[in-house]
């Protein structure tokens, strides 16, 4: 079994540790962070992307708390949430599987999110949750969402390579050893088109240098089915808004532009709103949390929110 992050040691200085708790649902022990000071406020669910964790929302959470009850979680196999039995071969690591499992987690917490914010693959999970009826939010906000298949050669080899790497037990350890090197970590972050502060860089370093977390990220990538999601997307009845960093090197910004332009007139919902964030990369919500929070409030409450 690949070694995972340990809460008593690795989590000793985790952002918002006082709001962390562990919950059993869908056969997993989940790490969640709940900011529940005002029961009269609507709930926002935050879903991070592949290879990230609750830490990626650390500053945005503080800006959302006055307006929402906030629930953040570590996805299966990431950071402090269990990898399912069967690892990368588990159906739970697929988009429908994760959507269903998160739905069971929400039921166990008696939480019904009015808003779901998903970053990258987290946006895909948010959409899948709504399509599959495991959540009924009033709005979904996608931040550099991975909602369409990768084009070109990358799209042809990405999933097969991820499946191969996920199946080889020594790969996560090799990856984590390489990623622990400061120069490699800096290149990984730079490859997203984003610039992070020292704290953000250190937290990603802590994650990617852990073999268990690396195994979770690989398993998630190996089980993506973005072509099916893209086919189902026009059935989405929940309002969807897209935030796109103009310098995103991970999910090409043109994908969001194309998604809006090609949205079928026969769809259950009008084409998504699209906002471009100039100069920001894939980790835009970590680079400029106030700007992202401003747009989130505008999407959810209307232009008067800003």
Q: What is the pLDDT of residues 198-211, one digit of tens each?
A: 999 999 989 988 88
State the pLDDT at residue 304: 42
Question: Per-residue confidence at 171, pLDDT binned at 50, 70, 90?
Answer: very low
The residue written with tokens 């919950």 in the block is: 23
pLDDT of 235 > 70? The answer is: yes
Q: Quick one: pLDDT at residue 6?
A: 94
Average pLDDT over residues 266-285: 93
The per-residue pLDDT for 164 is 40
Query: How does strand 28-35 pair with strand 20-25?
Result: antiparallel
Residue that wins the pLDDT comparison between 1 and 197: 197
Residue pair 120/251 in contact by the 8 Å Cβ criterion? yes
Token digits of residue 241: 């808004």
CA 32 – CA 30 distance, rounded (Å): 6
pLDDT bracket for residue 148 (50, 70, 90)? confident
* pLDDT (0 to 100) of residue 168: 43
- Rounded to an integer, the average pLDDT of 16-38 is 96
For position 179, what pLDDT does the model report? 60
Q: What are the φ and ψ backbone dihedral angles of 296, each rounded to 5 degrees?
A: -60, -45
Domain 7-305, CATH homologous superfamily name and number: Alpha/Beta hydrolase fold, catalytic domain (3.40.50.1820)
- 175 versus 258: the higher-pLDDT residue is 258
Nearest to 120 by CA among 213, 24, 35, 192: 192
Q: What is the C-alpha to C-alpha distance for residues 201 and 203, in angstroms, rounded to an integer? A: 6
pLDDT at 214 over 70: yes
Lowest mean pLDDT among 106-110, 147-151, 275-279: 147-151
pLDDT greater than 70 at residue 236:
yes
Quick one: tokens of 6? 């340990």
**Band of the pLDDT at 227, cuts 50, 70, 90?**
confident
Q: Domain ranges in the chain?
A: 7-305
The pLDDT score that the predictor gives to residue 293 is 98
Specify the pLDDT at position 159: 52
Task: Give pLDDT tens digits for 74-130.
Answer: 999 999 999 998 876 789 999 999 999 999 999 999 999 999 999 999 999 999 999
Q: Which residues pair with 20 in a beta bridge?
A: 33
For residue 193, the model assigns a pLDDT of 94
Average pLDDT over residues 194-222: 90
Q: How confident is the model at residue 153 (pLDDT cuts 50, 70, 90)?
A: very low
pLDDT confidence of residue 197: 95
Look at 2-11, 84-93, 163-172, 284-293 and tell me which has the smallest mean pLDDT: 163-172
pLDDT at residue 165 above 90? no
Select from 71, 143, 160 the least CA-distant residue to 111.
71
Distance of alpha carbon 135 from its chain centroid, rounded? Answer: 16
């Amino acid at each position: 079994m690949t070694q995972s992050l340990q809460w008593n040691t690795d989590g000793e200085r985790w952002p918002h540790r006082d709001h962390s708790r562990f919950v059993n649902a869908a056969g997993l022990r989940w790490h969640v962070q709940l900011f529940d000071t005002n029961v009269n406020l609507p709930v926002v669910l935050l879903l991070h992307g592949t290879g990230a964790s609750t830490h990626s929302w650390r500053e945005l959470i503080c800006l959302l708390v006055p307006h929402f009850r906030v629930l953040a979680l570590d996805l299966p196999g990431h950071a402090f949430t269990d990898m399912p039995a069967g690892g990368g071969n588990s159906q739970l690591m697929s988009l429908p599987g994760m959507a269903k499992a998160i739905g069971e987690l929400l039921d166990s917490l008696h939480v019904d999110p009015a808003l779901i914010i998903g970053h990258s693959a987290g946006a895909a999970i948010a959409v899948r949750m709504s399509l599959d009826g495991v959540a009924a939010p009033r709005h979904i906000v996608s931040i550099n969402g991975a909602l369409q298949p990768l084009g070109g050669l990358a799209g042809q080899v990405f999933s097969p390579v991820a499946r191969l790497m996920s199946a080889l037990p020594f790969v996560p350890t090799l990856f984590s050893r390489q990623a622990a090197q400061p120069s490699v970590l800096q290149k990984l972050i730079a490859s997203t088109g984003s610039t992070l502060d020292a704290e953000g860089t250190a937290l990603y370093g802590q994650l990617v240098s852990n073999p268990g977390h690396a195994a979770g990220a690989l398993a998630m990538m190996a089980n993506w089915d973005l072509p099916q999601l893209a086919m189902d997307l026009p059935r989405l009845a929940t309002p969807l808004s897209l935030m796109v960093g103009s310098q995103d090197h991970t999910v090409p910004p043109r994908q969001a532009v194309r998604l809006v332009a090609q949205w079928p007139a026969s769809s259950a919902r009008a084409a998504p709103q699209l906002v471009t964030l100039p100069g920001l990369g894939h980790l835009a919500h970590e680079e400029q949390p106030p700007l992202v929070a401003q747009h989130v409030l505008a999407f959810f409450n209307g232009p008067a929110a800003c």
